[in-house]
Amino acid sequence: MSNWVEGTVVAQRHWAGMLYSLQIEADIAPFHAGQFTKLALTIDGEMVGRPYSFVNAPSVRPHEFYYVVLPEHPLTPRLCRLGSGDRVYLAPKASGFLTLEQVAAGEHLWLLATGTAIGPFLSILGTGAPWQRFSRVVLVHAVRSAADMSYQDQIQSLQERHAGQFVFVPVVSGEPSEFALAGRIPKAIADGRLEARAAMKLDAQSSRVMICGNPAMVADTVLALEQRGLKKHRRRDHGQISVENYW
């Protein structure tokens, strides 16, 4: 199998600041919600690829990827210059274990993301599985400033479609905001503010937790959850926590 599949950009969206999303048509293998593929461009004669999570649910086309431009780095400043009809390369097969297939049965599903890592959770929430498997689903999105809170229309439509089953908790660390919890996710778990806001208990018996994004947030959140008796899920030693680090 060839290393790369040629895709065509359908649309590029600029959300705010350095935040963008790309919609791409490409003939790649089916994937599971929560997985990632690689996007690549030829830079100085070499193919440069990086992993990006699917935002679209597996049944939805075009494929969508949500990303932040890091000006000093090779790929993202070039990705954001692409427009409709441009070519971009994708890995032919998806990878990754941040999927509901890897999560044990439970009562409540908690999805905790920083920044662009809300993508894989939107893909999962776009499928039927979380709504069939869990009585309540909480999506927590932590960003620095309120303007970085993308995909609000999609989140609002989930709230309408799954009223009573879905809770969205915004967390803003870098400025005061009326609608969001302040600070970082690990602190909001430790001091009980996250549970209070979601009106649900975060414990080993009822909760299954998926965490994605900034590795410092992932590590500190795992610690905060371990304090409450939860542990990482492994194939041979079932726990409640699944994680994916973006770097």
Ligand X SMILES: Cc1cc2nc3c(=O)[nH]c(=O)nc-3n(C[C@H](O)[C@H](O)[C@H](O)COP(=O)(O)OP(=O)(O)OC[C@H]3O[C@@H](n4cnc5c(N)ncnc54)[C@H](O)[C@@H]3O)c2cc1C
Strands 36-43 and 136-143: unpaired
Of the listed pieces 46-54, 160-168, 187-195, 218-226, which binds ligand X according to CB under 6 A? 46-54
Taking the complex as a whole, the smallest distance from the CB of residue 160 to ligand X amounts, in Å, to 26
Is 51 a binding residue for ligand X by CB under 6 A? The answer is yes
Q: b/e per residue, 130-156, with b = 16+ CB within 10 A?
A: bbeebebbbbbbbbeebebbbbeeebe
Residue 115: phi and psi, rounded to 5, are 50, -125
Please say which residue, 31 or 36, places its beta carbon nearer to ligand X: 36
Q: Quick one: which segment of 51-59, 173-181, 219-227, 234-242 binds ligand X (CB under 6 A)? A: 51-59
> How many Å apart are CA 114 and CA 142, to the nearest integer?
5
Q: Around Cβ 159, how many Cβ atoms within 10 Å?
A: 15
CA 147 to chain centre: 17
Task: Provide, rounded to whole angstroms, the least separation between the CB of residue 227 and ligand X.
Answer: 26
Using CB under 6 A as the binding rule, whether residue 201 contacts ligand X is answered as no
User: What DSSP assignment string belongs to 74-109?
Assistant: SSHHHHTT--TT-EEEE-SS-B-S-SGGGS---SEE
Q: How far is the CB of 247 from ligand X (least distance, A)?
A: 4
CB 178, min distance to ligand X, A:
26
Helix (H) / strand (E) containing 18: none
Segment (H or E) for 133: helix 129-133
- Amino acid letter, residue 12: Q
Site for ligand X in 55-74 (CB under 6 A): 65-68, 70, 73-74
Q: Measured from the CB atom, is 174 or 229 closer to ligand X?
A: 174
Range 111-150, binding ligand X (CB under 6 A) = 115-116, 119
Is there binding between residue 76 and ligand X (CB under 6 A)? yes
Q: Choose, by CB under 6 A, the member of 21, 23, 53, 56 that binds ligand X.
A: 53
Query: Shortest distance, CB of residue 188 to ligand X, whole angstroms?
Result: 20
User: In the bound complex, what is the minimum distance in angstroms from residue 43's beta carbon to ligand X?
Assistant: 9
Q: Which residue is nearest to ligand X (CB)?
A: 73
Number of H helices, E strands in the chain: 7, 12
Q: Which residues would be at the binding site for ligand X (CB under 6 A)?
A: 36, 50-53, 65-68, 70, 73-76, 96, 115-116, 119, 244, 246-247
